[in-house]
Structure 1
Amino acid sequence: MSTSTPPRLPRSAHLDQLAEQLWDAVAAADEYTATRLVLCALDDDADPEAVLLDVIARVQCRVGEEWAANRISVAQEHAATAINERAVAAVSVHPAARTTVTRGRIAVACVDGEWHGLPARLLAEVLKLRGWRVDYLGAQVPTPHLIAHLHRTRADMVALSSSIATRLPTAHAAITACQAVSVPVLVGGAAFGPQGRYAKLLGADAWAPDARAAADRLARGPLPRPQAGHQQFDDLPHLDDQEYTFVFRGSASLVRHVFTALEDAYPAMRTYDDLQRERTAEDLAHVVEFLATALYLDDPDLFTRFITWTAQILVARGVPAMSLPPALGLLAGELKDFPRATRILRAGTRSLPTAPFTAAGKHA
């Protein structure tokens, strides 16, 4: 009989296995098992940063995918996120995660109106592991409070997170305000678009696609401090046409008018119950919000990506994507005197497939 020690699995295989186990616990809403799994992994010398980013963050991405596919409810998604947040907290207090501060001070915050706090929390914990003194300010941080914090703490830089593209105008204001007090800003999150295309447009000093890349970027050297008044709003000259301002300020009226007319343009709506009608109004509000943001950035692609994503989400929930073109057409009618808005709405309509989506999100 052989008495040799069985071969150890590669570290990546251990992390894959841990991620599957954590997903099972999160899906079962088993907070105790979820936290025990990550603590036991750290007891067994797992790297804390890998547990945060290759296990917990990976599971959280799966939570989002399951919600989008309508395999879990909003309540289940919130519960799963809360458990993952508890798992992050468990990692943060484990002895393996204790580090000495060897770098500067950084404030990590979500843009005002951004309630997805977990990505920012993951970044904060990774930066602590890398030796930074981190002030994690959490979700939905109003810009005046962020600036007051910078004045009080004399932080070396700010890391701003946003997952929702409609928060980009607010992010622009926050970036500008931080730079006005000579504090550089690194941004990240899905809101800033593919390859961070909107980070540069809005004047951020740096962008990173994820927490590991952000920590690596800061490890290469500090961001240079901007001079006071460095970033101003005149870098978006297309806003002079006031289309963004009109759509943003008139969003409630636009939604109301389109909703009222939609029953004639899309007769199937006449059979909707109260809950379906309420959700239709919410969907229209999101459409107008994304239109306003596309106008702010002067980027039709942002709107078309949102519309095609919305079509897939609707179909996953049993709502025909055919309901979108009539709504976009009515909105274009309301905004017929606004050339950029109508151009963006036409692009969104063209992005929708002529054939209906199947429940799997593919063309029939």
Structure 2
Amino acid sequence: MQRETGFCVECRDVTSYTLQKKLVKKMIRGEELTFEITCAICDRCGEFMSVPGIIDLNVREVDEQYRKLKDLVTIEDIYTLMKLYNIGKAPLSIVLGFGEITITRYLLGQVPSKEYSDVIRNALFSPEYMEQKMLENKDKIAMSAFKKSMTKVNELKSIFTVSNKMIGVISYIFESMDEVTPLMLQKLLYYIQGFSFALNDREMFIENCEAWVHGPVYKDVYNIFKHFRYNGIDDPKFVMFEGYKKYLDDKDKYIIDLVVNTFGQYGGKVLEKTTHKESPWLLARNGFGENVPSNEIISKETIKEYFHELINEYDISKEENVNKYILNLSNIIWGL
């Protein structure tokens, strides 16, 4: 526990204090709500102390918790939106149908209404929605600002070439892992599809994967992230994917967690080698030389059949059994 010193008005002396979390009730917009805030408690008398920075900290804590409770956008969300579309505060306000200084007020800390928050969030998560708002209010902003932002709209639209469910899965993976390379992402998606067939008896997403030299690949996903090459995927524009997690149900999330917590411990090259020992990729690559390019589809039926067989052999509904399967594949790969 952190202990500092400050002046206690009750003790009339400089005393040490401890920072503790306390529940407090506050009236906001006519509603009494409970928040957890950080308080400075005098070590001598046990009373609250006012220490430098504590009030500002409490304001931030209440603001963050209130926005989360009411599902409202944050100040950071608004800055991200401005950066994504290369648009200033006043033009953004007008484009979204607000008053000219509304966004400025929000950036200074004013909390938006749920209605206005939803408009901002829709623009943040959907370039199509932002395009619609841009066209609706085209004549209300400078043509230079309109063209600059529309260029960004078109750039961002180009990454939404896969299904909503696929985007939701990718977003959930990003949220669950510290770093994901394009190669690793491809293999995790393949295993997520297989485990969904095996444990939920349904596909996770509609996309087909192809049997490339380096393992199963979802081509449209590859095109979205290929410029990261062997590096971790890191770009603020992919915050737009967060809104697509709503397409995942609890069964979907269980599958993704299962795969991320097991296969996600390994790098992309290791996962590439494990897919090379499994029949779905091998069957689709039949007749092709080791380094001969191929865009043959790995049929969903072969994926389904293969992973269904693993249920009986390993009971892959449990992480420890999935890890045993990976270990056995690794032993085969390395000849152990």
| Same fold, judged at TM 0.5 (above) | no
TM-score, with length taken from structure 2: 0.30
Q: Which has the higher helix share?
A: 1
TM-score, with length taken from structure 1: 0.28
- Greater radius of gyration (CA): 2
